[in-house]
Amino acid sequence: MRKSKIFLMMLVMVSPIFFTSVNNVKAVRPFIYGTMEGPAELEYMDAYDSASIDCVVQSLETLYATNLSDSPDFEMVPCLAANFGTWSPDGLETSIPLRQNVTFHDGSKFNATSVKWAMDRLTYMLTEDPTGIQTADLFLYDGEPILNKTEIVSEYVVNMTLNVALPALWDILLTTWVTSIMKPNDNMTRWLTLTDDLIGTGPFVYDGYVPGQKVTFHAYENYWGGVANIPSMVWQVIDDDDTRSLAMVNHEIHMIDSALPAYTEKLENDPSINFIKVKGLCTYYVAYNVEMVPLAHRKALSYATNLTYLIDDIMEGECYPWQSPVPEGILYANESFDGVPNFNITKAREILIDSGDAASHNLNASSTDDDWITVANSSNPIAEYNFTTHSGLIYTIGEALKSMYEKIGIKMKMTDRIEWKTFVDKMNGRNGHSKNELTISIGAWCPDYNDPINFISPLYKNDSSSNQFQLNDPTLEQLMLDSYTADPEDRQQMFNDMQELIAATTVPSYNLWQFEEHTVYNKDIIGNYPVNPFGRTYFYPCTFNEPPAPAVPGYELGIMLVASLAVVFILLTKKEAIVR
């Protein structure tokens, strides 16, 4: 009887411990968003990659915003401003009333002091910071800040004075994340790092980032617009495109911003998945470093690019060809001009023959495909260029380009895949890297607002940090400057000229396509996601149903343990009864 009592005691002791642990597993189960990369920057004034921007806008807000929630027109609406305020007749001064009863995530008050601090910090970053923010070109006119000063009129009214009369543009700039309002601190000159707090007024509180693993948020319970439906979020970093798509197929995550074409059919046929496609405004292009790849080669490489193959076979038709730097859907977009390289191997070879490159390698118009390919793969090709990649899809595109370039005698070396932040540093020539570390690469750009200058100035202006091409064309520079103050008719012609100059004359890039934006989510978990062509990720408007509980690790083993102890107890009891 003594042994049975011992087992009975063990059973009594183990059962509550186990079942208490099971009950304690119950907690708020997060919404899980699968993303290719985490933020490269938390310093919102310097952020210029989509992963960083999408992270920032969950927590920080601006005076005005683009309406991603309630309108197909995506118009500008007041956010932290109570309304759009008023402009002086000369277009140099605006008075903006602010929303009241708004608090930062730590409970402190938002008011005019917060706005002035943010705008003064922007002015410092533009004029005095030794590093210089990547986004500076958005806020400069002829090298000088558009904003002159910000003044407090009352607790909830601010005045802003401009250096140049650009009222419409300034209103638009106040919708961008760069003008976000963060809680003021004692050191406005200090840059935010990935380990800092991001204390804003937005619907979600930024909890932190484990590099290469996850970003976490929770809903701000005192948000002025009402608490978000999603109580907590985990942005799971899955940098491999196949793994990320497969995780969505297997319901291991609840949403991804894009899926590889190979998984589209499975996802579209899943009754739990909402797979939405829209023609986006984000673009893809081949980027040539003009200091390392001469014009004749840039044109030849562009003519050698079989765009139809890339779209049909690699992208499986899930994008839209567009060969102007300003995509269709943006004001003044135009590709109806002559001289844009279209796939033509003969033309590509003619360019290299005319430049003298072909003759020095014993190639001419009569040379066969094999002759050109042999030269490309020899120890003495017409040229050899490095191709840099940071994702599996881009590597696949690069491999296809490599085969195309071989047909004009040019070798392209595929370098090892690098991390996204390292790629951004190389592109911007920062943190110990040089822009000359990128010879040929794939670039992508999404608009900050609907104006063509946002596709021209950040990418092709000579002093822009995002000018990975290192283009410096005086004609283009003057057209950009004049476009700010031109009347609409003249402005349209200026942008026609700029697009032709880039696409057909200087060729720092070969524009490939506009994305087909994919929004893929589990509709049993979230709904009402604000699909938009800007490629922006924003979760505040979403409805939410808590995900089902995952299997508790060890649950079945625990049940077996308790059951086994019970059986042993019964057997011992019977045995003792028989013995007696």
Across the chain, which distance is largest between two alpha carbons, in Å?
A: 109
CB 512, CB 538: distance < 8 Å: no
Q: Which amino acid, one-letter code, is at 324?
A: S
Same domain, 359 and 481: yes
Give the distance, in angstroms, between the CA of residue 44 and the centroid of all CA atoms in the same chain. 13
Number of domains in the chain: 3
- For residues 298 and 385, the answer to whether their CB atoms sit within 8 Å is no
Considering the domain architecture, whether residues 21 and 63 belong to the same structural domain is answered as no
Q: What is the pLDDT of residue 23?
A: 43
The whole-angstrom separation of Cα 500 and Cα 473 is: 13
* Contact present, 231 and 28 (Cβ < 8 Å): yes
Please tell me the predicted confidence (pLDDT) of residue 463: 85
Residue 501 pLDDT = 97
pLDDT of residue 27: 57
DSSP secondary structure, 265-289, as one string? HHHHT-TTEEEEEEEEEEEEEEEE-
Measured between alpha carbons, how far apart are the two ends of the chain, in Å? 10
Full residue range of the structural domain in which residue 324 is found: 278-516
Residue 397's domain is classified under what CATH number?
3.10.105.10
My answer on whether 252 and 332 are in the same domain is no
Residues 113, 151, single domain; the answer is yes
Domain identity same for 55 and 91: yes
Do 561 and 442 sit in the same domain of this protein?
no
Helix (H, G, I), strand (E, B) or coil at 209: strand
Q: How far apart are CA 534 and CA 550, in angstroms?
A: 34
pLDDT at 24: 42
According to the model, what pLDDT value does residue 11 have?
A: 44
State the pLDDT at residue 274: 95
> pLDDT tens across 85-142, in order?
999 999 999 999 999 999 999 999 999 999 999 999 999 999 998 788 888 888 998 8
Supply the DSSP string of 11-45, one letter for each residue: HHHHHHHHHHHHHHT-SPPPEEEEES---S---TT
What pLDDT, on a 0 to 100 scale, did the predictor assign at position 498? 97
> Which secondary structure element, helix H or strand E, spans residue 490, and what is its range?
helix 488-500
Tell me: do 217 and 319 sit in the same domain: no
296 and 209 inside one domain? no
In this predicted structure, what is the pLDDT of residue 131?
Answer: 80
Minimal CA–CA distance to 529: which of 273, 330, 282, 281? 273
253: Cα separation from own chain's centroid:
19
Tokens standing for 8? 């009975």
93 and 208 belong to one structural domain: yes
CA atoms within 13 A on the CB side of 510: 22
Cα(281)–Cα(283) distance, integer angstroms: 6
Beta strands in 389-473 (DSSP E): 410-414, 440-445
Q: What is the DSSP letter of 97?
A: E
Taking the C-alpha atoms of residue 511 and residue 445, their distance in angstroms, rounded to an integer, is 11
Structure confidence at residue 50 (pLDDT): 87
134 in the same domain as 214? yes
Cα angle for residues 429, 444, 399 (degrees, 5° grid): 90
Encoding tokens for residue 205? 């509180």
Give the C-alpha separation, 194 to 211, whole Å. 9
Residues shown for the chain: 580
Q: DSSP character for 327?
A: -
Which two three-digit tokens encode residue 292?
């390392």
pLDDT on residue 559? 47
Helices (H), 214-368: 241-249, 264-268, 295-303, 307-309, 345-354
Q: Based on the domain organization, do 256 and 316 belong to the same domain?
A: no
Question: pTM of the entire structure?
Answer: 0.78
For position 550, what pLDDT does the model report? Answer: 60
What does the alpha-carbon distance between residue 138 and residue 145 come to, in Å, rounded to a whole number?
9
Residue 205 CA to residue 540 CA, distance in Å, equals 12
Closest CA to 483 of 470, 496, 473, 474: 496
Reading the block at residue 274, the tokens are 């909402």
Contact 46, 193 (CB under 8 A): no
**Is 462 found in the same domain as 435?**
yes
Tens-digit pLDDT profile for the chain (580 aa)? 544 554 445 444 544 544 444 444 445 689 999 999 999 889 999 988 889 999 999 999 999 998 887 667 788 899 999 999 999 999 999 999 999 999 999 999 999 999 999 999 999 999 998 788 888 888 998 889 999 999 999 999 999 999 999 998 999 999 999 999 999 998 999 999 999 999 999 999 999 999 999 999 999 999 999 999 999 999 999 989 899 999 999 999 999 988 888 899 999 999 999 999 888 899 999 999 999 999 999 999 999 999 999 999 999 888 999 889 999 989 999 988 888 999 999 999 999 999 999 999 999 999 999 999 999 999 999 999 999 998 888 999 999 999 999 999 999 999 999 988 899 889 888 889 999 999 999 999 988 888 899 999 989 999 888 899 999 999 999 999 999 888 889 999 999 999 999 999 999 999 999 988 889 999 999 999 988 888 889 999 999 999 887 654 444 445 455 455 554 445 555 545 444 4
CATH for 128: 3.40.190.10
Tokens 């070109």 -> residue:
137
Residue pointed to by tokens 């380990």: 195
Counting Cβ atoms within 10 Å, is residue 23 exposed (0-12), middle (13-18) or buried (19+)? Answer: exposed
User: Rounded to whole angstroms, how far apart are CA atoms 398 and 575?
Assistant: 75
